[in-house]
Amino acid sequence: MAVLVTGAAGFIGSTLIHALLDRGERVVGVDNLNDYYDVNLKKARLKRLEDRESDFSFHKLDISDREALPTLCEANPDITGAVHLAAQAGVRYSLTNPFAYIEANSMGHLVVMEACRRLPNFQHLVYASSSSVYGGNTKMPFSVEDPVDNPVSLYAATKRSCELMSDCYAHLYRMPMTGLRFFTVYGPWGRPDMAAYLFTKAILEGKPIDVFNNGEMRRDFTYIDDIVSGVISALDRVPVAPVPGRPHKVYNLGNNNTETLMDYIGVIEEACGREAIKNFREMQPGDVKETYADIDISQKELGFEPKVKIREGLPRFVQWYREYHKV
C-alpha cells in the first residue's frame, strides 16, 4: 500500500512525508519545483529524504498535466490514499498572476481527483483548502458551518472551488474526500513568502519590515507539527457521508488561538535578539483583518489537539533559519 503526496517539495508536504515514512508508509511524491520561491529551498527539503529512497520515490511533474499524473498513478496501482497539497499559494501574488491559480489550483485539483478515482484500490483523498475561504466573515471564530460564499481574493476562490468540486465527485463517484482548511502554518522549513520568514530575514539583516493595516491584524498561527498531525488523523479517517451518497467532509486545522500581529512580531524580535524596523502600511487588497479557527468538530472527529503556541514555535523557526542560512 502507498500514499500519494502532491507538493512533496513544499513546506507541509515534505514534513508530512517524513511523518508518513516514520510510521512505515510507502510514499509516492510529486512536485513541479516551480520558481514561485527559491527552488534551492525545495531541493534542500527533498535532499533530507534521500536516505529514505527505499520507501520514497520522487517524480517531478505538474499536477495539472492531464497525462503525466494519471500515468504515474497507473504505474503505482498500490496507491490507496492521497494527500493533495500542491497549489499555487499566496493571496497577494494572485493579484499579479491570476492565471497561475486557475491552472494549478482548479485544474490541478481536477486532474488529481480524476487520477485517484481510477486507481483500483483507492480509498481516500485528503486535500488542502485554506482559511482564506472565509473571506470577509466577521463572526469569530470561523466555523466550517459558516457560509463561505464571498471570497476576497482569487486564491480563496480557487480553494473554495476545490471544495465544491470535491463535493461533486463524492456525490458522482462515491469517492471519499476530506478537505482541510489550514490556518497560517509556520515552522522550520517554512515558505519565504510567509510572515515568519520575511520578518526574521529582515530583522537579522537590519532591514525594515512591512506591517500591514498598521499592525491591527490577528491570525490563528498554527505550527507545522500540529498541522501534520491533523493531516494524518484525517487520512486515517475515511469520512462517513454527512449527506447520503456524499462521503466528503471539511475541517478547520488551526491553533484555536488568535494572536495579534504585533505580539507575533515581538516574539520574533525576542528570538532574534533585536528590534524590528517597522514600516506601518495600509491593508493590502485581498487580505483579511483576522482569522480564528473553531476546531470543535476537528477535535471531536479527528482527535486534533494543537499543542504549540507561537512563544514556543517561533523561536524554533528562528533557530532553523539561522542554521539553514548560516547567520
Catalytic residue positions?
Answer: 155
Distance CA 267, CA 29 (A): 35
Name the burial class of residue 54, with classes exposed (0-12), middle (13-18) and buried (19+) by CB atoms within 10 angstroms of its CB: exposed
Q: Are 252 and 222 in contact (CB under 8 A)?
A: no
Contact 56, 17 (CB under 8 A): yes
249 DSSP β-pair partners: 178
Secondary structure class of 176 (helix, strand, coil): coil
CB atoms within 10 A of CB 60: 13
Does residue 120 have a cis bond before it (omega within 30 degrees)? no
All cell numbers assigned to 180: 482541510
Nearest to 21 by CA among 66, 51, 65, 63: 51
Q: Pairing state of beta strands 56-60 and 26-31?
A: parallel
CA distance 291 to 135: 9
Phi and psi based region of residue 183 (left: phi greater than 0; alpha: psi -120 to 50; beta: remaining): beta
**Are 274 and 208 in contact, with CB atoms under 8 Å apart?**
no
The SS3 of residue 80 is strand
Three-state secondary-structure class, residue 237: coil
Give the whole-angstrom CA distance, residue 6 versus residue 161: 18
